Structure 1
Amino acid sequence: MISEPEMVDEFGAVGTGEVVGEFDRNRAREPRPRRPWWWAVSGAAVASAVWAGALYLHPVGDRKPDMHGYRLDANPCPTAQLKALGAALAPKEDTSVLAPELLNDPVLDRVKCFIPLRPLAAKKPISSRWYTDYSVAITVALHKKSDPAAEFEAMRGVSDSGPDAGTKVEKVPNLGDSAYVLTQDDGYAELRVREGGAVLSLGLSASANYNSDAGEPPSDDGPDISDLSPYRSAMISDMRDLMKSLRS
């Protein structure tokens, strides 16, 4: 299982003071009439009108996010090396199991693909009864018209299968504008990163398989594949490489 540490600003009070000159202290002053209260109300109304006009011209939710140079002109998965995961688990296969889903639109560019890693069974003797398959899912979404920050935070704990009370979410510091790792007990971990309008995810899944060439079916349940935490740093490293490759 993957885990990662979590990562606010404070506003200080501003003091006010009054400086009185020597001339003012020595001169008799007649009391001045107070300004009518409607001056203050009028000023506040004008300020509110200006602010409302600014919001009308530049709605907060419609401001274009900073793309930080990210581009998605083609499917990045064939060029994704996954060097760190390849060294920790197994090298990537040359072909994907499924064809990538690629969308190019004035509002959103998006791609999703699945990359299998070569089974570790190839490195083990034929007598081994169990082996583990790993695969990597990569998703890149470039939101070119609206800021995805609120949606990104709202999706914490929500996987492709929907909300799950058993899902663990922990923040990853120093990666993009915001990043967190989502893990489940069924051998799945996903690293999600947002940087400006770019949202990227790298999911790692594991499955235990029986080696039919090893003889009689085993009576045990196979290896425990639930804990993927040893590969967290490798996922982060490969995510950094992916982010770098997508910046123009």
Structure 2
Amino acid sequence: MISEPEMTGDFAPTDSREVMDGFGSEPAGGSGKHRPWLWALGGAVMATALWAGAFFLYGLGDRRPDLHGYRLDKNPCPSLRLKSLGAAIGPREKADTGPRFLNHAALDQARCFISLRPTGAVDQPGKGWSINYGVGVTVSLHKESDPGAEFEALRQVTDTGIDPEAKLETVPNLGERAYLLTGDDGSSELRVREGGAVFSLNLYVFTQYMGDGPDEQPDGEPEVPKASAYHSAMISDMRDLMATLNH
């Protein structure tokens, strides 16, 4: 938050005769009294004229946000790389793209969900528990309104709702503002804002049981790895995504 500048030191009173000399004096033979309210009125008129000109040119609170060169010319999901997460977890599987690409005068947005196949996994797993990894990516380019206030307001909101216990970590040197949000379910989300461009990368880790039927009672559920173990890889892949979309 930007605060008012602190004012220090003493200010000597200004001699009004110096300020007004040659500008506000009465002509010879007059009363000799100055009329400072005329100068205040003149200043107010000037300020109003300048403000009105600025409003005409830019509008009031309606200046378009700077997208810093980011563009969504097409759906980026099919070619999204995720090199670092792929190296740490396993190669990506086919992206679930679907109709998740929006081009609008006010907002361009793309949403992707990609499954990662852990190293050592087989194509047709047998019965039992498996650990699965999913990556959700959202890119939003706000072309009409600045998303800064909304970005800050959602700091404690995860996919499952408002989570005041979620762990929040600031990420330096990434966009204008960036932070990692770790929910109580162990998932992690990296959010970045740069002007009107907002990026999100979610990493989900979950278990799945493959059995013979719905009545089968599974046991021995494996411990789910924490997504926080992959924060460095998430940051690296986010930088790669942002560089890809910056033209």
Instruction: Identify the TM-score tier after normalising by the shorter chain.
Output: 0.7 to 0.9
Aligned to 2:190: 191
Per-residue deviation, 1:104: 0.5
Per-residue deviation, 1:35: 4.3
Tell me if 1:11 matches 2:36. no
Distance in 2, Cα, partners of 1:147 & 1:217:
51
CA displacement 1:92-130 (0-9 Å, x = unmatched): 11x12352501111111111010000144517xx89964
Identity in percent: 53
Tell me if 1:51 matches 2:27. no
Aligned to 1:67: 67
CA displacement 1:152-194 (0-9 Å, x = unmatched): 1111111233222232222211100111111112131110111
Contact 2:129–2:221 (8 Å) recurs in 1: no
Per-residue deviation, 1:42: 4.6
Distance in 2, Cα, partners of 1:53 & 1:14:
34
Distance in 1, Cα, partners of 2:50 & 2:112:
47
Distance in 1, Cα, partners of 2:42 & 2:112:
58
Aligned to 2:159: 160
Tell me how large the CA RMSD over aligned residues is: 3.2
Aligned to 2:79: 79
Aligned to 2:230: 231
Distance in 2, Cα, partners of 1:169 & 1:109:
27
Tell me if 1:141 matches 2:135. no
Distance in 1, Cα, partners of 2:174 & 2:6:
28
Distance in 2, Cα, partners of 1:112 & 1:240:
17
Contiguous gaps of at least 5 residues in structure 1:
1-7, 19-31
Tell me if 1:106 matches 2:105. yes
SS of 2:234's equivalent in the other structure is: helix
Contiguous gaps of at least 5 residues in structure 2:
14-31
> How many residues of Structure 1 are paired with residues of Structure 2 in the alignment?
225
Distance in 2, Cα, partners of 1:165 & 1:100:
32
Which amino acid is 1:167 matched to? Answer: A
Distance in 1, Cα, partners of 2:246 & 2:205:
30
Higher RCO structure, 1 or 2 (CA under 8 Å, sep 6+): 1
TM-score by length of 1: 0.77
Per-residue deviation, 1:64: 1.1
Contact 1:96–1:114 (8 Å) recurs in 2: yes
Structure 1 residues 62 and 229: alpha-carbon distance in aligned structure 2, compared to 1, 3 A threshold: same
Structure 1 residues 100 and 231: alpha-carbon distance in aligned structure 2, compared to 1, 3 A threshold: farther
